[in-house]
């Protein structure tokens, strides 16, 4: 629900002069929600009731017109049919009780499978006159292919190929009028409202780095201004189903903006202070390790123990030689204490066949590798889609291709049709076949030709991967390059298993010989097709 209020006087957009207290009559639960500025003297309060029943609300403010407004409303629980059609009716995303995965408010585990559309909040990724713009085409395509999440940058900059930072507009114009940070343009955010409304209606979640403070914005924002815009966005969008990152590629803000770990901790605490609904909050890292300690990690690990961070994001690098980082980084972050869910948020993007003839294979390899090595979420990306490159954009803001010297720009329609993105639905289907959230990485239980199973490396990504619910389910992913190798699963809990090979290229399942009921060590059966292709073996206890 949304309350619209009119103030008696003017306030800065970064002020929060009004707060509404929402009280659940049956339980006595109370949530205090700040209001946000929406132009002129208009202030709004957005609230998503977490419980069915009767609610009352009352505003408090030093402003006589904003103070003392009150009301009452009743919330009915969604029907089973509504929940089946739109999983967002299960409630907002939160961290699970064991801090290993994400779940909806009703306790249903949430498999975070994201598509990267950093520039979705720009004019070239437009809404169209009648919900017929490119944005809706992308949402429909990704939903159809099994994605559950879109990665969107809320405040988008030009990109790395422009010397000076500049904001990108959407249908509402630029985020700030005349480039003045004091003069926020509410029309810009209203266009983002429409995008987030559509994601809710489509049953999708948004994972949202607020901005790339360094690299694109450089010194446009001081930490004080970053805090103002970040808290404003948390207040404006805290009622949506969002997973937050307080910065994109945060390490760049160290040299570009002069920020320190103390500054990022300040930013994280400020965002959490306005996080009335407990939305998950993290920080998005660079894909490089060439930073001064403690920032020389491709993850949010330097802030792992910060009180404002509740899950870890990873980025693993934009080259084939860095693919192996997914296995090593997921395992490293999975092992950290205290526990935090691991989100492999940015991996090697899918290229054109001219630039990577095995691009589709590399995409499915990364997804299987991430989930079987402890990730609770994985972010796929396709060149052209991630920055929404459109050479025919009528606004003249075509976007830039990441790593422009390495790979040429791919139009977004071509990127959307890249084959690797469609293959990730098979990952989701296999994982969703049982309680995937209980899987534990156990690749060390595999032996290859009688020897210890090594970790993948820059020059060798053929080692297989395994995750298991011991005695109940075992998932093994065998990459290409294992024809002729004997692969053995050790420490198998003796039981009667249903065994099947799944083709990760088609999703087709084929029956396989099962291990003897008393076996604790078992040689994997022959693959049903080309033994040098990648395959997935599923063991399920009867």
Q: Three-state SS across 53-114?
A: EEEEEEEEECCCCCCCCEEEEEECCCCHHHHHHCHHHHCCCEECCCCCCEECCCCCEECEEE
Instruction: Say whether pLDDT at 398 is over 80.
Output: no
- Residue 189 belongs to some domain of the structure: yes
- For residue 188, the Cα-to-chain-centroid distance in whole angstroms is 23
Instruction: Say whether pLDDT at 407 is over 90.
Output: no
Residues 49 and 33 in one domain: yes
| Cβ atoms of 462 and 449 closer than 8 Å | no
Task: Give the per-residue pLDDT at 389.
Answer: 87
Residues 406 and 444 in one domain: no
- Residue 329 belongs to some domain of the structure: no
Task: Give the per-residue pLDDT at 161.
Answer: 36
Range scoring the smallest mean pLDDT among 136-150, 400-414, 426-440: 400-414
Which residues are registered as beta bridge partners of 511? 500
Residues 372 and 507 in one domain: no
| Cβ atoms of 284 and 249 closer than 8 Å | yes
Task: Give the per-residue pLDDT at 90.
Answer: 97
Measure the N-to-C terminal CA separation of the chain; round to a whole number of Å.
47
Residues 320, 155, 308, CA angle at the centre, nearest 5°? 80
CATH number, domain containing residue 17: 2.60.40.10
CATH number, domain containing residue 504: 2.60.40
Residues 64 and 140 in one domain: no
Residues 236 and 383 in one domain: yes
395 — pLDDT class (breaks 50, 70, 90):
low
- Residue 403 belongs to some domain of the structure: yes
Task: Give the per-residue pLDDT at 167.
Answer: 67
Task: Give the per-residue pLDDT at 397.
Answer: 66
| Cβ atoms of 397 and 122 closer than 8 Å | yes
Query: 512 is in which domain, residue-wise?
Result: 438-541
| Cβ atoms of 200 and 238 closer than 8 Å | no
Residues 261 and 177 in one domain: yes
Q: How many domains does the chain have?
A: 3
Residues 116 and 250 in one domain: yes
Residues 406 and 442 in one domain: no
Residues 426 and 458 in one domain: no
Residues 129 and 143 in one domain: yes
- Residue 281 belongs to some domain of the structure: no
Instruction: Say whether pLDDT at 191 is over 90.
Output: yes
Residues 391 and 447 in one domain: no
Host H or E run for residue 43? strand 42-46
Q: Which residue bears the tokens 């693959």?
A: 527
| Cβ atoms of 437 and 398 closer than 8 Å | no
Residues 73 and 118 in one domain: no
Range scoring the smallest mean pLDDT among 78-82, 240-244, 290-294: 290-294
- Residue 529 belongs to some domain of the structure: yes
Task: Give the per-residue pLDDT at 409.
Answer: 76
Range 480-507 average pLDDT? 95
């Amino acid at each position: 629900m949304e309350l619209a209020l009119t103030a008696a006087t003017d306030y800065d957009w970064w002020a929060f002069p009004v707060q509404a207290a929402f009280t659940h009559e049956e339980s006595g639960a109370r949530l205090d929600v700040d209001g946000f500025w929406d132009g002129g003297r208009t202030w709004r309060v957005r609230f998503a009731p977490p419980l069915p029943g009767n609610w009352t609300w009352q505003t408090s403010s030093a402003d006589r017109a904003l103070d003392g407004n009150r009301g009452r409303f009743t919330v009915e629980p969604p029907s089973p049919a509504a929940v089946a059609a739109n999983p967002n009716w299960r409630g907002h995303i939160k961290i699970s009780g064991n801090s290993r995965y994400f779940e909806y408010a009703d306790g249903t585990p949430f498999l975070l499978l994201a598509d990267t559309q950093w520039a979705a909040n720009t004019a070239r990724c437009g809404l169209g006159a009648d919900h017929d713009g490119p944005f809706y085409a992308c949402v429909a395509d990704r939903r159809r292919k099994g994605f559950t999440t879109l990665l969107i940058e809320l405040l988008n900059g030009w990109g790395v190929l422009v010397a000076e930072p500049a904001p990108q507009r959407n249908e509402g114009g630029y985020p700030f009028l005349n480039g003045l940070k004091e003069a926020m343009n509410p029309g810009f955010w209203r266009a983002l409202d429409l995008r987030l409304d559509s994601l809710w209606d489509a049953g999708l979640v948004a994972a949202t780095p607020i901005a790339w403070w360094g690299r694109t914005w450089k010194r446009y924002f001081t930490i004080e201004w970053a805090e103002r815009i970040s808290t404003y966005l948390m207040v404006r969008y805290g009622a949506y189903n969002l997973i937050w990152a307080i910065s994109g590629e945060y390490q760049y803000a160290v040299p570009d903006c002069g920020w320190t770990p103390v500054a990022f901790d300040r930013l994280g605490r400020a965002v959490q202070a306005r996080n009335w609904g407990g939305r998950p909050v993290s920080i998005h890292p660079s894909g490089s390790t060439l930073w001064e300690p403690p920032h020389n990690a491709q993850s949010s690990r330097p802030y792992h123990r910060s009180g404002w961070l509740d899950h870890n994001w990873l980025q693993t690098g934009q080259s084939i030689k860095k693919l192996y980082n997914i296995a090593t980084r997921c395992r490293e972050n999975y092992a950290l204490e205290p526990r935090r869910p691991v989100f492999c948020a940015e991996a090697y993007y899918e290229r054109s066949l001219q630039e990577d003839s095995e691009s589709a294979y590399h995409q499915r390899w990364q997804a299987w590798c991430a989930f079987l090595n402890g990730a609770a979420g994985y972010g796929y990306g396709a060149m052209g889609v991630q920055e929404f490159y459109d050479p025919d954009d009528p606004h003249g803001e075509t976007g830039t291709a990441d790593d422009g010297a390495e790979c040429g720009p791919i139009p977004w329609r071509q990127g959307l049709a890249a084959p690797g993105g469609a293959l990730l639905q098979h990952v989701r289907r296999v994982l969703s076949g049982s309680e995937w959230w209980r899987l534990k990485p156990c690749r060390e239980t595999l032996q290859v030709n009688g020897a210890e199973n090594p970790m993948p490396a820059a020059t060798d990504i053929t080692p297989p991967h395994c995750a298991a619910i011991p005695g109940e389910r075992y998932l093994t992913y065998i990459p290409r390059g294992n024809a002729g190798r004997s692969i053995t699963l050790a420490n198998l809990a003796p039981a009667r298993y249903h065994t099947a090979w799944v083709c990760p290229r088609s999703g087709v399942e084929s029956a396989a010989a099962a291990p003897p009921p008393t076996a604790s060590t078992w040689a994997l059966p022959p693959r049903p097709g080309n033994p040098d292709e990648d395959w997935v073996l599923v063991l399920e206890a009867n």
